[in-house]
Amino acid sequence: MTTDASTLPLIEIRGGPRERGRQHGEAAREQIHRAIAFYEQLYARSAKLSLAEVRERAPMWVPIIEEYAGRDILEEVEGIAEGAEVPCADILALNGRGELSYGNPFLDESHAGCSSFALTAEATGDGHVYCGQNWDWRAGAKDTVIMLRIVQPPKPTIIMQTEAGQIGRQGANSAGLALNANGLGGRFPGTRLGVPSPYVRRRVLDSVDMHDALHAIFTSSQTYCGNVLLTHRDGVVIDLETTPGRHGWLYPHDGMLVHANHFQAFVPEQIADSYRPFSPDSLYRTVRIEQVLRNATNAADSAAVRDVIATAMRDHFGVPNSVCNHPDPRRHPLEQNQTVASSTVDLTTGEYRVVAGLPCESKYTKLPWNLYERDEDATEVPTSNGRLAEVR
């Protein structure tokens, strides 16, 4: 399957950890093989490691992951490898691609874009709680993006957009908790190998409440700095600027919180003397989104709120380095970024909408899955060649 501007592969997995992994690997086999081929080139350029060297080193993550997240998560990773018919080390590497894309994380000595937002009832004309983001990543990886629904009782059911083969990324769960994330760049001197972010994000999305989500973040060790925006359907929003050392946090102002790719709560002392935002456009992307989203408070109904959000996420000020991020031809082809998916979630109703690729090129599509639907009433969705229906 290939991804175009209006559709994404839809995959639903269920059962025990290894069975869920096998279903994921089988359904997304084509995308996983495509991802491995793309990252083989990127590893060589950024980390100066061949695929063989990455495969040799990737198992170094196993004890770190198991100590943090337990054996179940590794069984799901192993199941993905079995279903995709690839070495398990390749799936470990795909989940560590954030670290491998900016250098060699296995040495003892990140520039993922993204613009995230949260709106509480105070800031929306319909009184609903919304969150979402433009997910900006390597343009060469856009055809590996899938929508995944994970049914895993007694844990919450998860809906998320992710790269095929990855265990966790941004999404929301049936407990009314959503996660959006942004890269902050930078690595502290002397930082050791940490838990790759997909495992932390998965533990957050496995959480039944805000307490457990925060606990998952605060108990993780990490290699790079990153931002995590947590939104709950009850209107509680907390943004965490996480680092290998201490974390900083932010709360909404007038019911709105927007974050991109620079430190907004604090600058860590370990990098304070030399800190520069790795993505300078982050400084205006946050302001542009805030300016548009202020109009949501006057929206007459939910459709009008969604129109305001869509307008904000399609903003082209500074294009190609804009909120709607387009590939910059001045960069090396392997390092060109673009918005690979854009999402908006109504946590009040459970409706999840996405755009594959650039949001300026297509309308947001409502998923046939609702966050709060009971599993026995779930719509049957093909797991190997499903597509999003154009539901308005």
Residue 386 above 80 pLDDT?
no
- What does the pLDDT average to over 233-238? 98
| Contact of 68 with 219, CB cutoff 8 Å | yes
- Supply the CATH number for residue 194's domain: 3.60.60.10
pLDDT at 104 (0 to 100): 59
- What does the pLDDT average to over 3-19? 83
pLDDT at 304 (0 to 100): 98
Give the 3-state secondary structure of residue 11: strand
pLDDT at 223 (0 to 100): 85
Residue 238 above 60 pLDDT?
yes
pLDDT at 384 (0 to 100): 38
| Contact of 94 with 86, CB cutoff 8 Å | no
Q: Which of 183, 242, 230 is nearest to 205 (CA)?
A: 230
pLDDT at 100 (0 to 100): 72
Residue 18 above 80 pLDDT?
yes
Residue 68 lies in a domain: no
For 326-383, write each residue's pLDDT tens digit.
999 999 999 999 999 999 999 999 999 999 999 999 999 999 999 999 875 444 343 3
For 33-61, write each residue's pLDDT tens digit.
999 999 999 888 888 889 999 999 999 99
Residue 108 above 50 pLDDT?
no
For 299-326, write each residue's pLDDT tens digit.
999 999 999 999 999 999 999 999 999 9
b/e per residue 10-47 (b: at least 16 CB within 10 A):
bbbbbeebbebbbbbbbbbbbbbbbbbebbbebbeebb
Contacts of 322 (CB under 8 A, 6+ apart): 281, 285, 288, 315, 316
Residue 117 lies in a domain: yes
Domain residues for the domain of 140 are: 9-14+108-379
Rounded Cα distance between 389 and 347, Å, is: 21
Residue 1 lies in a domain: no
Return the minimum-mean-pLDDT range out of 43-52, 173-182, 256-265. 43-52
- What does the pLDDT average to over 256-269? 96
Residue 98 lies in a domain: no
Total tally of structural domains belonging to the chain: 1
Rounded Cα distance between 226 and 248, Å, is: 11
Q: What's the mean pLDDT when you consider all of the chain?
A: 91
For 118-158, write each residue's pLDDT tens digit.
999 999 999 999 999 999 999 999 999 999 999 999 999 99
Let me know if 332 is exposed, middle or buried by CB neighbors in 10 A (0-12, 13-18, 19+): exposed
At 98, list the tokens.
């954030």
Q: Which of 4, 116, 128, 105 is nearest to 57 (CA)?
A: 105
Residue 56 lies in a domain: no
Residue 389 lies in a domain: no
Residue 384 lies in a domain: no
Residue 103 — pLDDT band, cuts 50, 70, 90? Answer: low
| Contact of 197 with 98, CB cutoff 8 Å | yes
- What does the pLDDT average to over 248-262? 97
Q: Of all residues in the chain, what percent carry a pLDDT higher than 70?
A: 91
Residue 20 lies in a domain: no
